[in-house]
Structure 1
């Protein structure tokens, strides 16, 4: 994408987080991005095109936050995986709430727009498939099913802390690591979770 395309898509995501789906218009994006009127329409002629641009940009920015390329290589062991997962989730929870809210808006809109649903799901595969490979490398005998459980746990944590009833209590890295340890222990074989010390709480 060009710098202007990124600017437009970033403005769209910011509007989604701030005003919701009703606040996302071509004119509003122009204003939020500080661009001349008509710039967003020239880039994304229709609302569908604007939504697709937002989904693409969201996936790119989430890839940077989640840093899937920073996950442990196959064979590095469960401890490396626990460290990487807990640090990644904590980074998202503490520094990127706006992206999460925008993603929830786009996900809900995708349930009403079949053409966006297909596009949304395709972008999601770039995250799901590497996680399945990690679960397989970690020794999972049901990597696809275990990936679903892992993603569902992460999504529940993200939602609860970003917009749910736990929004005032972001877990520490150590607490997230303990939670991942309990989850993966049940899927891959029991491993006692490391205790959380007072200093880590």
Structure 2
């Protein structure tokens, strides 16, 4: 892994422009020249930041993770052992915020995820960036009494990913559920996993 998240205004501009190109033109539209042109930078500016395509993709993945962290905010998750209702409410808040105010990030996420299936070196970088979201959820499931915290965290992530895809690019793109609806979905899922009483 050679690239690092951008630390300068120009680096952030390049990374944000790379994500914008993924949304507007897809993976084939992401080139060093296209980033320079869309960002209004002198030719060669992007190459100075990320010399290879792999490096440019890693910059995009790093920026994607940074921006997702501002939306999903792992720090907003309740303390371990705080109760299922608090966990469901926190997850619903983050997911609804993602779906209603940051849908372009979902498109760039899917472009990068699909590219990672074709590039093992990008796969490693993509997976490492995603650990910041997975590990706190595993810890919360363990604290909630899960007998299989890794598996239950996977189920929660899979349910969330499915909902995000359906609302961003699937058949529910025009019918984003409300925050209370998402919270009820999480509550049903969590109680089913942890054998609690049925949701009210």
| Structure-2 residue corresponding to 1:59 | 65
TM-score normalised according to structure 1 size: 0.94
Q: Residue 17 of structure 1 contacts residue 98 of structure 1 at CA under 8 Å; is this kept in 2?
A: yes
Is 1:8 matched up with 2:14?
A: yes
Q: In the alignment, which of 147, 154, 158 is matched to residue 160 of structure 2?
A: 154
Matched, 1:104 2:110: yes
Alignment match of 1:115 (pick from 96, 121, 132):
121
Partner of 2:192: 186
Give unpaired runs (5+ residues) of structure 1: 195-201
| Unpaired segments ≥5 residues, structure 2 | 1-6
The equivalent of 2:180 in structure 1 is 174
Count of residues in Structure 1 that have an aligned counterpart in Structure 2: 194
CA contact (8 A) 2:81 2:140 kept: no
Give me the whole-angstrom Cα distance separating, in 2, the residues matched to 1:74 and 1:125.
Answer: 18
Cross-structure match for 2:139 = 133
- Runs of 4+, deviation exceeding 3 Å: none
How far has the Cα of 1:162 moved from its partner? Answer: 0.5
CA distance in 1, matches of 2:51, 2:198: 55
- CA RMSD of superposed structures (Å): 0.9
* Alpha-carbon displacement from aligned partner over 1:81-127 (angstroms, at most 9, x marks no partner): 11101111000000111111001000111111111111111111111
Cα deviation, residue 191, structure 1? 3.0
